[in-house]
Structure 1
Amino acid sequence: MPATLDGKLVVAISSRALFDFEQENRVFEQNDDTAYMALQQSLLERPAQPGVAYPLVKKLLAFNQGGEQLVEVVILSRNDPMSGLRVFKSAEHAGLQLERGVFTRGRPAHHYLAPLKANLFLSANEADVREAIQRGFPAARVYPESVQVAETHADEVRIAFDGDAVLFSDEAEQVFQRDGLPAFHAHEHDKAALPLPDGPFRPLLEALHRLQRQSAANPAMKIRTALVTARSAPAHERAIRTLMGWNIEVDEAMFLGGLEKGPFLREFQPDFFFDDQTGHCESGARVGPTGQVHYGVTNR
């Protein structure tokens, strides 16, 4: 019987998101893939340093205990196969149990997300992220320059989500961008009982809750989620009611009314933060791992 990824949390991740290949990437951008391949071959036995998504991947893989394979992390990369060998060697050196990888030597890799049944795609390539979102997959462009803090909360995966254009659609954000804050509040007050349409990251939030249920018998690892949104009262009600309608709970909710998100994220200490707006991502990246969701009216 063939192997299957059914029922698992599947994370597809590029080489640059998992490991720090920024120096090597500069060689690729300044020359061609021949020089890049030569550099990677010369460094084949030198393990790469952790990248921005490394702490998240390490913690998610910790759910695979007692013979249960609940999480699958797959390298999905524009790297060539030879350079991919260094990725696997670096993962082995770090103790990350990665078994699968797809390497496309400069060609787009996003079309492999469907057979992988990916619940999340993390990449430093904006075009791949945009295409993945268009195809219905939760995807974010990682900020390789994100501050990499010392690992905290070793028994908890902490993930923070923006609301509009991330967990929810950009319906309300369109009103705000077009008509301003008073119209936004009026719109959300009038529709408080009507759930917001799905955003691109609802499937990931649902997959995380499924993982939490599957691993309930083994409490060595837990998941803690936070909604970190620029919404404030009265617009908070519709967001909460939407989550209630999905039968999904978040552990923390921050309705910041336009305040800078970075200081609040510093206190929550997420392993990853997802937001659609560049300003919020830049604020988040100054305190921890961050990815931009290229979706909605602010990203057109």
Structure 2
Amino acid sequence: MPASLEGRLVVALSSRALFDFEEENQVFEANDDRAYMQLQLQRLDQPARPGVAFSLARKLLAFNENASAPAVDVVILSRNDPVSGMRVFRSAQHYGLPIERGAFTRGQSPWRYLRPLGAQLFLSTNLADVRQALDAGVPAAQVYPDSARASEAHPNELRIAFDGDAVLFSDEAEVVFQREGLDAFQRHEISRATTPLPPGPFKPLLEALHRLQRSSDVGGLRIRTALVTARSAPAHERAIRTLMNWQIDIDEAIFLGGLPKGPFLREFEPDFFFDDQTGHVANAAPHVPSGHVAAGVRNPAS
């Protein structure tokens, strides 16, 4: 029978999301792809340093270690050329990451391969690729390559933090806030406190993580999730009730009322944080691995 990824959580990462190729990327931007290819070939036996999404990938793959059947698949989708792809695979092997699948498209957008993979997450440093993935209905975020690397304090726990509006939820309430201000936003949410918010682009990922957590076949690993939002009481209730309506448990909910998110995320220590506002991502990136979800009213198509 042919191989199948059905039933697995499939996460697609670009080369620069998984590994630190920033030095090599400077060669690419200053010259051409042949100079970049030659440099990667010269460094074929030199493992790349871990990148922003490395901890996320490593912990996700660890769910397979004691399972009777693989529950997660991590795939490389990269604008790199196939020659440079050899270094990606060798680096993964060096760190003991069992990554078997990849597509290397030499400058072309690889997002189109997300659909046959059935991917539930795509992380890339390329904003255009992220936008195309989101338009295709795949949860996706632009990795900030200068983000802090994940803490090693929780080796047996995958920690992920999400913003709410325009990430887990639709941007319905955010549209009201942008057009009419905070008071109108609060009135809007209070009057609809028992009406679930429409789903946002990252609901499928949260659902997949919820299924993975509830699986009885994942050994001693667990997942801890957090909602980290600028909302405050009384607008908090609709967010909580929406998650209840979806029958999804979330471990922590942090309602900041506009306070900077970075210091709180530093304490939560996620393996990755997703937010639709570049300001919040920039505030978080010095503390935790961070990505920009280019969706919703805050991110109009250029």
TM-score (norm 1): 0.98
In 2: Cα distance, 1:149 partner to 1:72 partner: 20
Which amino acid in 2 is paired with 1:206? E
Q: In the TM superposition, what is the alpha-carbon distance from 1:261 to its structure 2 partner?
A: 0.4
Q: Secondary structure at the match of 2:40?
A: helix
Which amino acid in 1 is paired with 2:60? L
Equivalent position of 1:43 in the other structure: 43
Q: In the TM superposition, what is the alpha-carbon distance from 1:151 to its structure 2 partner?
A: 1.4
Deviations 1:96-142 (A, max 9, x none): 00000001000010000000000100000000000100110000000
In 1: Cα distance, 2:237 partner to 2:62 partner: 35
Q: Secondary structure at the match of 1:178?
A: helix
Equivalent position of 2:186 in the other structure: 185
Identity %: 67
In 2: Cα distance, 1:180 partner to 1:149 partner: 35
Q: Secondary structure at the match of 1:57?
A: helix
In 1: Cα distance, 2:218 partner to 2:7 partner: 17
In 1: Cα distance, 2:104 partner to 2:20 partner: 17
Equivalent position of 2:126 in the other structure: 125
Which amino acid in 1 is paired with 2:270? P
Equivalent position of 2:115 in the other structure: 114
Deviations 1:64-123 (A, max 9, x none): 023421110000000000000000000000110000000100001000000000010000
In 2: Cα distance, 1:84 partner to 1:271 partner: 25
Equivalent position of 2:298 in the other structure: 298
Which amino acid in 2 is paired with 1:89? R
Equivalent position of 1:197 in the other structure: 198
**Range moving further from structure 2, 144-153 or 76-85:** 144-153
Which amino acid in 2 is paired with 1:21? F
Equivalent position of 2:246 in the other structure: 246
Which amino acid in 2 is paired with 1:55? S
In 2: Cα distance, 1:49 partner to 1:210 partner: 31
In 2: Cα distance, 1:171 partner to 1:271 partner: 28
In 1: Cα distance, 2:212 partner to 2:163 partner: 21
1:199-218 matches, cutoff 5 A: 199-214=200-215, 216-218=216-218
Equivalent position of 2:275 in the other structure: 275
Task: Answer whether contact 2:193 2:237 (CA < 8 A) is retained.
Answer: yes
Q: Secondary structure at the match of 1:165?
A: coil
Deviations 1:253-276 (A, max 9, x none): 001100000111011000000000
Equivalent position of 1:285 in the other structure: 285
Equivalent position of 2:159 in the other structure: 158
Equivalent position of 1:75 in the other structure: 76
Equivalent position of 1:265 in the other structure: 265
In 1: Cα distance, 2:299 partner to 2:157 partner: 31
Q: In the TM superposition, what is the alpha-carbon distance from 1:150 to its structure 2 partner?
A: 4.0
TM-score (norm 2): 0.98
Q: In the TM superposition, what is the alpha-carbon distance from 1:218 to its structure 2 partner?
A: 3.8
Equivalent position of 1:142 in the other structure: 143
In 1: Cα distance, 2:287 partner to 2:87 partner: 29
In 2: Cα distance, 1:31 partner to 1:178 partner: 45
In 2: Cα distance, 1:180 partner to 1:291 partner: 26
Q: Output the aligned Cα RMSD.
A: 0.8
Which amino acid in 2 is paired with 1:194? T
Structure 2: which 5+ residue stretches go unaligned? none
Q: In the TM superposition, what is the alpha-carbon distance from 1:185 to its structure 2 partner?
A: 0.2
In 2: Cα distance, 1:59 partner to 1:291 partner: 18
Q: In the TM superposition, what is the alpha-carbon distance from 1:149 to its structure 2 partner?
A: 4.4
Which amino acid in 2 is paired with 1:35? A
Q: How many residues align?
A: 299
Equivalent position of 2:62 in the other structure: 62
Equivalent position of 1:232 in the other structure: 232
In 2: Cα distance, 1:275 partner to 1:150 partner: 19
Deviations 1:263-298 (A, max 9, x none): 110110000000000111011101010000000111
Deviations 1:153-188 (A, max 9, x none): 001000000000000000100110111100000010
Q: Secondary structure at the match of 1:225?
A: strand
